[in-house]
Structure 1
Amino acid sequence: MYETIQYEMKNNVAWIRLNRPEKFNAFTEQMNLEITKALKEADRDTEVRCLVITGNGRAFSSGEDLAGVKQDTDHAEILRKRYNPMVQKLASVEKPIIAAVNGVAAGAGMSLALACDFRLLSEKANFIEAFINVGLVPDSGNLFYLPRLVGHAKALELAVMGEKVSAEEAKEVGLATKVIPLDQWEEEVSAFAENLAKKPTKAIGLIKRYLQKSWESDLDEMLENEAYAQRTAGQTKDHAEGVQAFLEKRKPEFKGS
């Protein structure tokens, strides 16, 4: 079904694995399109309650495969056709999305990780804003998400300097949710994802939606947004289960509905 990625669902978690390890999972047009297709598949599947994006081999993704970039390449058209739809689909999925950064995430590979909700980094992983090193500007949502995660000054520093950011530094500046030792990598990523998959999925989707709207809303708008979101969440089966579990002094069993 897919040639440049692998897709599987396990324990209500959809795993999307970038699968060009010999090229450090560098993006091609086909890979961009397949990632977007896989995101749509996971979004539609009611059994999927969490997504994990990771890479096979030593890298998460080294960014665009520069072997396919010609001198007269129209970079804007590449972004509009391939990368922007992928990032827009990521933003529209109202389920938690984890970037499991197993190795280097450079250029658009870093952008992909930034667009996810959580970033779990292997202790050997690193980020590189590689765009400046080939005379380009960060793209694929990078300039949108980066300052929101680390602030304007640090975002400018990372984007202009183009230097490697270790996993530990990424954690310090707010780019990483968690740094995981190599010998615990698979176990801890799976546990983190499966824990998210057991939470009330509809509530998570509403949190994601209205946190994003908060950047463009004033206080009065956000108070009304919260009221609307709370009414919606209050009508879910998971809310009813949460209340019942509280009254019965037991752990709730959310179903994502």
Structure 2
Amino acid sequence: MGVALSELVAAANALLEPENFQDYCPNGLQVEGKPQVKRLVSGVTASQRLLDAAVARDADAIFVHHGYFWRGEEPVLTGMKGRRIRTLIQNDISLLAYHLPLDAHPTLGNNAQLAAKLGLQVRGGLQPGSAHPVGNHGELPGQQSAQAFAAHVAAVLGRDVLLEAAGERPVKRVAWCTGGAQGYLAQAAALGVDCYLTGEVSEQTIHEARELGIHFIAAGHHATERYGAGAVAGHLAERFGIEHEFIDIDNPA
């Protein structure tokens, strides 16, 4: 029978609480399609390949982490952006997108799901004192070398990772933030952790890691954020008794 789109959006908003975040894009319903949702597709980014896959599966709605209408981007619907929007509108498919709220959810979010995959025990937020921290810090069950931990991350995520090792310092306490969060390295070091894990690396990140004496791992923006959208969409689908499929559009970045 499905669920009303309005009810699905209301449930997603209640779960992720986008009103608590100052974000770079609108969170929630970005493109409105048919009023009833029976089949939900989720993915990391609302790329054309994900949209085409959703159309092929006769989806009614798509749930993603990276949607559209980012701050500072050209607002006109032309070219690639126009094609994406036309695909949604012509096929009457809704697009729901949640950026920072999806990173931060304490159990279903990107950071919580990555921690579960890697066996990390969450001890707190990356921003101490924040009621809605983006990123976490915690511990491994046992102490291991930086090289062993990096190999574990690579095996779990199924891709090579970049490790900048801070000497022979063993890894027990870890901070992490999925996606492009290399700018939080100094905050992680201030917490006294042994290693900081994120998705991306910048030129200055390596120098900072060396000078701060902290291991640094860049494991891929896409790879570290593959789990939140599917977890939230799966939770909503189970609640409302609708079909759900997570579609992973591979991205080496």
TM score, norm. by length of structure 1: 0.26
| Larger relative strand fraction | 2
| Larger relative helix fraction | 1
TM score, norm. by length of structure 2: 0.26
